[in-house]
Amino acid sequence: MLAALILVLAVGGLLAWQAERYGANAPRWIALMTLIVDGALLIPYFAGGFPEAGVWLDDIRLHWIPRFGISFHLGLDGVSLLLVVLTIFLGLMAVAASWTEIRERVGFFHFNLLWTLAGVLGVFLALDLFLFFVFWEIMIVPMYFLIALWGHENRAYAAIKFFLFTQVSGLLMLLAMVVLVIIHQRDAGVYTFDYFDLLQTSLELNTAWWLMLGFFIAFTVKLPGVPFHTWLPDAHTQAPTGGSVILAGVMLKTGAYGLLRFVIPLFPETVADFSPIAMGLGVAGILYGGMLAFAQSDMKRLVAYSSVSHMGFVLVGLFAWNALALQGVVITLLAHGISSAALFVLAGAVQERIHTRDMNRMGGLWTDVPRMAAIGLFFSVAALGMPGLGNFIGEFLVLLGAYRVDAAMTAAAALGLIIAPVYSLILIQRAFHGETREIHRIRDFGARELALMGFLIVATVWIGMYPQSMLDVSDTWLKNSLRGWGEGVAQPNDSQPPGERLADRGEP
Amino acid sequence: MITTTDLLALLPLIVLSAVAVIVMLAIAVHRNHRLAFLLTVAGILISLITVPLVSDLVPRLITPLVLVDRYALVFTVMAYAAGLVAAVLCWEYFRVREGHQEEVYLLILTALLGAGVLAAAHHFASFFLGLEILSVSLFALIAYPLREIRALEAGIKYLVLSGVASAFLLFGMALVYAETGTMEFAVLGGRPGTFPSVIGTILILVAVGFKLSLVPFHLWTADVYQGAPAPITALLATVSKGSVFILLLRYGLESGVFRVPVVSVLLALIAVVSMLVGNFLALRQNNVKRILAYSSIGHMGYLLVAPVAANVVGGNLAAEALLVYLAAYFAMTLAAFGVVTVMSPADREAEELDDYTGLFWTRPWLATVFSVALLSLAGIPLTAGFIGKFYLFAAGSQGALWMLLGALIIGSGLGLYYYIRIVFQMAQAPAALQARPEARPVGAHLVLAILLLLIFGLGVYPAPFIDLLHPEINVPKQSAAQQ
């Protein structure tokens, strides 16, 4: 079943590529249908309810390279389920958003899109470190092509930068993995890349520190955290709309996922020492990203830097590692995925119409395109953390959780909530309000785009109004992760985890 | 005394020698390009078939000169297969060019013979003989298009430098012999040498460094790669370097020279420098053959991780890593040069980066093969190159060679840049749709398809190939105890 999730996308990609000869719309429909089928495969997991801690919703394990104890091991638990759903949902949005934008080599475009998504799903599902690494790298190649072939004016530079950053940091991770496996082999006598076996490895503190750093850098590059974020504004800006949606909405989440699935469970003691640094980097990202976002005149660049800022919250929340903060991280991942995807779709739509992303040349668009402007306002407000919408819940929970760990750091992070409105509103101000600088006669959102945005709006409101439905899904994972986490580590242990209280209150 | 079983175990080499003679006679009797080609292909295939037949007889020491074992046989198969690919590419390449083409196949066969001898060499004499058979064939092959000034230049360069390297080699061997009184690798291991023999060993390694184009002995590489005909470059890059590497590991392990601190430090240093310099020099090239030449310097540096690690991790893992990486390297290098060959029109070679602009839209099949080969060279997962790199990581980290692995990561990062640059060039919209060449070289396309399958096969499901090597591969790590 889990393998089918990935296989469907891979096969669909090949079909879409070949379908180009039957007309430009064929690949689009095939991609859409593929994603819908993939989504349908997920329904049983929701229907079945969520079992107690320690039980995985589904897993599959096949031998792959027995020489090194490598297996094809996929597993699904609450948090991966949520991210898989997000991936497929945003995949649909990306296909819809590219419907008119991509006119050349449509088949190959959708092939790359679907294969990127297949790689991302693999990352969210893999429970074998080698397999994880394979998927981690696999998703980069089609994304490279998306940027390099259908990107904007400076695409060659952006694409190669993206590739180099992620690949080289990935090799560091591979090295760390191999060393971890070898240390495990010296203790246990067998090679294994299996996640659960490697969790048992006992490491010297010094070694663990280096290994953790290898993983941490790879994931922080992807997240992205300051100072490894410089590939992101270029890649996001130059990518076609569909690519930006996948990049910001889904791919950044793989970094966060890697941190929460691998780095923290594999190296708990080291992470405890390291958490002030990581949280510091997170806070730096929040503030620095926010300030840079404000300074941009390129619409997509602004949104890209705002991602750096929002992902800073994720980093802070992850390394605070308590129930509240982790719930906040999960919600932030989902909410940011949706809101940033929406803003990139919007920016892409504007660019498709007036052929520029430069906000100096916009202004006064509200009168021309009231629907676009209103939707833009909605998502800007969502991104800045308006209560009632998804992002607010996530960031609020992160701050609440982090406060218990490090009050000073949290206070600094909270400043991000002041910067966010500034850059979010300046976007609206410069693009849609004010005087019309250039005369535009442009088309407003049509039915397809309205439907697309409608879905995203519903999702944002849902997360904002009823986050408990998401938290229920990830609850098992959460309890499971926190169990066995030593008392002295990073958090003053509550007798009753706040997550429980929230769960009780939120029960319908 | 050589017994029948000994001769049987030598079948892969004997058959190949016979084929070389037959091809030579056939050319003398009736000069025909097609005939020579077909005889060669059939001969290599028959030689390949003999390998599984003899695999039960090994390991077998036949005279002190040659040790036929699984390690040698696996490489022999790889080398012969590479020779087959090179022969097919030569057929497509020389078919449309003028001149007498038949001797190319003869020379390919003798080069393969040299490689086979090197793979099984167990003695300085067979080491030198194998190397010379291989090198002499290669001079002639490189300079084969007699009227091409660049090919001639490349041939002369390779000849001179190879000659110098052979001189180093012989002098080194002489020094070692003077000190220890033996030329057998295994016996050498039991007689720890002193100062002159260490110098001798280093001279031998210098010669090996020339052959493998390791920095600082790499200066010939780019010119020779560029000047030689593309299919010959493919042969040079794979068979010649691979066999010398196979020999290096065996020599190092059996004679124990890797245990000499000076040698292992020197090797590690050469490895790091090769990885970095090779990849750096490739960055600024605009000629595809030169890019591949410099990248091969980097790859030889990566490969050195295996011998350097052999001290700590033991010969078996090192041999396994070496063979896996070589198999991957063979497949992807042959595929890359195969594309260059097929792309080349009759009057010149398609070697400029511009020749590849828009290839995805004009000749998508070739572009796909080339991209896969390049991505594999860059070590992207699901391709053979990644499995090879993974093995090097495994061997290197077991041996705790952090500096080498750090250089490997940096080198791979640099490598990615220039490999992707070619892929990007191919993905650009073509300036104008060039007319497709009229000839459709079926054989070359078939070979490319097989190589593509191999690259993916080895990358996606390497288990069968690894089973072939592990745990049976057994390179004796000789010590005094065994004497």
- Whether B390 and chain A come into contact, CB under 8 Å, resolves to yes
Upstream peptide bond of B216 is cis (omega within 30 degrees of 0): yes
A3 alpha-carbon distance from chain centroid: 21
Residue A263: per-residue pLDDT: 92
Quote the CA–CA distance of B382 and B388 in Å, as a whole number: 11
Q: Say whether A133 and B381 touch across the interface (CB within 8 A).
A: yes
Q: How far is B461 from chain A (nearest CA, A)?
A: 7
Selection from A419, A256, A391 nearest residue A332 by Cα: A391
Does residue A363 have a pLDDT over 90? no
Q: Are B215 and B270 in contact (CB under 8 A)?
A: yes
- Whether B313 and chain A come into contact, CB under 8 Å, resolves to no
What ipTM, to 2 d.p.? 0.91
Q: How many residues does chain B have?
A: 483
Quote the CA–CA distance of A475 and A504 in Å, as a whole number: 12
Q: Say whether B416 and A168 touch across the interface (CB within 8 A).
A: yes
Domain borders along chain A are 2-501
Quote the CA–CA distance of A173 and A222 in Å, as a whole number: 12
Q: Are A308 and A385 in contact (CB under 8 A)?
A: no
**A63 contacts on B by Cβ (under 8 Å):** 463
Check residues B482 and A27 and name the one with the higher pLDDT: A27
**A164 contacts on B by Cβ (under 8 Å):** 413, 416-417
**A3 contacts on B by Cβ (under 8 Å):** none
Token pair of A138 as six digits:
């696999």
Q: Are A331 and A462 in contact (CB under 8 A)?
A: no
Instruction: Please state, for a pLDDT cut of 90, what percent of chain A lies above it.
Output: 58
- Amino acid B235 reads L
Q: How far is B270 from chain A (nearest CA, A)?
A: 21
**A145 contacts on B by Cβ (under 8 Å):** 427
Q: Say whether B381 and A134 touch across the interface (CB within 8 A).
A: yes
| pLDDT classification of A484: cutoffs 50, 70, 90 | low
Selection from B79, B1, B49, B15 nearest residue B326 by Cα: B79
Q: Are A120 and A254 in contact (CB under 8 A)?
A: yes
Q: Say whether B393 and A174 touch across the interface (CB within 8 A).
A: yes
> What phi and psi values does residue B35 have, to the nearest 5 degrees?
-60, -50
Q: How far is A237 from chain B (nearest CA, A)?
A: 19
Query: Which chain B residue has the Cα nearest residue A147?
Result: B424
Q: Are B245 and B326 in contact (CB under 8 A)?
A: yes
Residue B280: per-residue pLDDT: 94
- Whether B416 and chain A come into contact, CB under 8 Å, resolves to yes
Torsion of CA A132, B336, B462, B72, to 10 degrees: -140
Per residue, the 3-state secondary structure of A316-369, as one string, reads HHHHHCCHHHHHHHHHHHHHHHHHHHHHHHHHHHHHHHHCCCEHHHCCCHHHHC
**B416 contacts on A by Cβ (under 8 Å):** 163-164, 167-168
- Whether B375 and chain A come into contact, CB under 8 Å, resolves to yes
Residue A55: per-residue pLDDT: 65
**A171 contacts on B by Cβ (under 8 Å):** 408-409, 412-413
Which residue of B416, B427, B461 is in closest CB contact with A148? B427
Residue A431: per-residue pLDDT: 86
CA distances from A235 to A159, A431, B209 (A): 6, 22, 42
Residue A507: per-residue pLDDT: 35
Q: How far is A11 from chain B (nearest CA, A)?
A: 16
Quote the CA–CA distance of A38 and B403 in Å, as a whole number: 45
Selection from A311, A305, A249 nearest residue A96 by Cα: A249
Mean pLDDT, to the nearest integer, of A230-256?
A: 92
Which residue of A65, A138, A144 is in closest CB contact with B381? A138
Per residue, the 3-state secondary structure of A16-71, as one string, reads HHHHHHHCCHHHHHHHHHHHHHHHHHHHHHHHCCCCCCCCCCEEEEEEEEHHHCEE
* Residue B123 DSSP symbol: B
Q: Taking the CA of residue A206 as centre, how many other CA atoms within 13 Å lie in the half-sphere pointing to its CB?
A: 0
Residue A492: per-residue pLDDT: 38
Label residue B228 left, alpha or beta by phi (over 0 means left) and psi (-120 to 50 means alpha): beta
**B375 contacts on A by Cβ (under 8 Å):** 141
Maximal CA-CA distance, chain B: 70
Q: Are A104 and A503 in contact (CB under 8 A)?
A: no
Per residue, the 3-state secondary structure of B438-469, as one string, reads CCCCHHHHHHHHHHHHHHHHHHHCCHHHHHHH
- Whether B393 and chain A come into contact, CB under 8 Å, resolves to yes
Mean pLDDT, to the nearest integer, of A228-251?
A: 92
Q: How far is A178 from chain B (nearest CA, A)?
A: 6
| Segments forming the whole domain that contains residue B162 | 4-482
CA angle B86, B473, A63 (to 5 degrees): 90
Give B465: exposed, middle or buried? Use CB within 10 Å, 0-12, 13-18, 19+: buried
Quote the CA–CA distance of B120 and B115 in Å, as a whole number: 9
Q: What is the sign of the dihedral through the CA atoms of A351, A355, A360 and A366?
A: negative
Selection from A9, A13, A65 nearest residue A36 by Cα: A9
Query: Which chain A residue has the Cα nearest residue B460?
Result: A64
Q: How far is A20 from chain B (nearest CA, A)?
A: 14
Number of domains forming the structure of chain B: 1
Residue B194: per-residue pLDDT: 76
A437-458 per-position pLDDT tens digit: 776 778 888 888 899 999 999 9
- pLDDT tens track, chain B, 483 positions: 788 888 998 999 999 999 999 999 999 999 999 999 999 999 999 999 999 888 888 788 888 899 998 899 999 999 999 999 999 999 989 988 888 888 999 999 999 999 999 999 999 999 999 999 999 999 999 999 888 899 999 999 999 999 999 999 999 999 999 888 888 888 887 776 677 888 899 999 999 999 999 989 999 999 999 999 999 999 999 999 999 999 999 999 888 888 888 888 999 999 999 999 999 999 989 999 999 999 999 999 999 999 999 888 888 899 999 999 999 999 999 999 999 999 888 888 888 988 898 888 888 889 999 999 999 999 999 999 999 999 999 999 998 899 999 999 999 999 999 999 999 999 887 766 655 554 567 888 999 999 999 999 999 999 999 988 877 666 655 443 333
**A138 contacts on B by Cβ (under 8 Å):** 380-382
**Chain B interface disruption, residue of A21, A129, A131, A167, most B CBs within 10 A:** A167
- Residue written as tokens 């986050």? A467
Residue B473: per-residue pLDDT: 64
**Chain B interface disruption, residue of A63, A132, A140, A179, most B CBs within 10 A:** A179
**A156 contacts on B by Cβ (under 8 Å):** 424
Residue A231: per-residue pLDDT: 92
- Whether B283 and chain A come into contact, CB under 8 Å, resolves to no
Torsion of CA A240, A241, A247, A249, to 10 degrees: 180
Q: Say whether A178 and B470 touch across the interface (CB within 8 A).
A: no
> What phi and psi values does residue A59 have, to the nearest 5 degrees?
-155, 160
Q: Say whether B412 and A174 touch across the interface (CB within 8 A).
A: no
Compute how many other C-beta atoms are within 10 angstroms of the C-beta atom of residue B34.
10
- Amino acid B66 reads V
Query: Which chain B residue has the Cα nearest residue A136?
Result: B381
The mean of the pLDDT values for chain A is: 87
Quick one: which H or E segment has residue A72?
Answer: strand A70-76
Q: How far is A449 from chain B (nearest CA, A)?
A: 30
Q: Are A386 and A460 in contact (CB under 8 A)?
A: no
Token pair of A270 as six digits:
């080291």
Q: Which residue numbers of A have CB closer than 8 Å to B's CBs?
A: 63-68, 130, 133-134, 137-138, 141, 144-145, 148-149, 156, 159-160, 163-164, 167-168, 171-172, 174-175, 178-179, 182
Helices (H) and strands (E) in chain A, counts: 24, 2
Which residue of B375, B412, B466 is in closest CB contact with A171? B412
Residue B162: per-residue pLDDT: 93
Does residue A500 have a pLDDT over 60? no
Q: Are B180 and B174 in contact (CB under 8 A)?
A: no
* Residue A384 DSSP symbol: T
Selection from A160, A312, A315 nearest residue A234 by Cα: A160
* Residue A262 DSSP symbol: I
Quote the CA–CA distance of A344 and A329 in Å, as a whole number: 22
Selection from A332, A324, A315, A317 nearest residue A478 by Cα: A324
Selection from B207, B33, B34, B14 nearest residue B109 by Cα: B14
Q: Are A499 and A427 in contact (CB under 8 A)?
A: no
Q: Taking the CA of residue B109 as centre, how many other CA atoms within 13 Å lie in the half-sphere pointing to its CB?
A: 31
Q: How far is A221 from chain B (nearest CA, A)?
A: 15
Quick one: which H or E segment has residue A411?
Answer: helix A407-414
Q: Output b/e per residue, A51-72; b: 16+ Cβ within 10 A.
A: eeeeebbbebeeebbebbbbbb
